[in-house]
Amino acid sequence: GETYDPPEIPFCYEIIPKCELTPIEKVIASPGWTVLEDSTITLSCEEGYEGEEEIVQCQSNGEYEEPQISCQERKLAECYIRPIPHTVLKLEDGSLLQDFTVIEGTVILMSCEEGYEASSNRTSLTCQRNGKLSQEIPMC
């Protein structure tokens, strides 16, 4: 009872070099952290962080330059609100605006003191990323 071992049949497959980047904290990689040769990965910062966008090129041999991107926590912009006579400024929760500096994303609701009327009916203002209100505060 001799056992018959069939010969191993060699087969060939193409080796496609690819680049695998090590994920970096607070960074988004598009299309992903691994790409095939001759393609690129675009690196950008997650929401709430800022840094220069960077493009990493995966070369034909699977080599790439180490990305230099660094994402810093983005400081929220502040809007300064100058006091205006006869104007009542409140926050969304209905509380009176205590100080005249608010951070970006804050919504301020404006109304006039009794006996006064606003020059505009757009009475909701938002502190924007550029440190300015979404519009001028209407006069009363």
Closest CA to 97 of 140, 132, 87, 105: 87
Tokens of 36: 């095939």
Which residue, among 57, 66, 70, 67, has the nearest Cα to 26 in the 3D structure?
70
pLDDT in tens, 78-118: 999 988 899 999 999 999 998 889 999 999 999 999 999 98
Of 41, 19, 16, whose CA–CA distance to 28 is shortest? 41
Share of the chain above pLDDT 70, in %: 99
Mean pLDDT for the stretch of residues 56-75:
92
Residue 48's pLDDT band, with cuts at 50, 70 and 90, is confident
Residue 41 to residue 77: CA distance in whole angstroms: 30
Q: How far apart are CA 107 and CA 127, in angstroms?
A: 7
Q: Rounded to two decimals, what is the model's pTM?
A: 0.54
- Pairing, β 49-50 against β 72-73: antiparallel
How far from the centroid of its chain's Cα atoms is residue 126's Cα?
Answer: 19
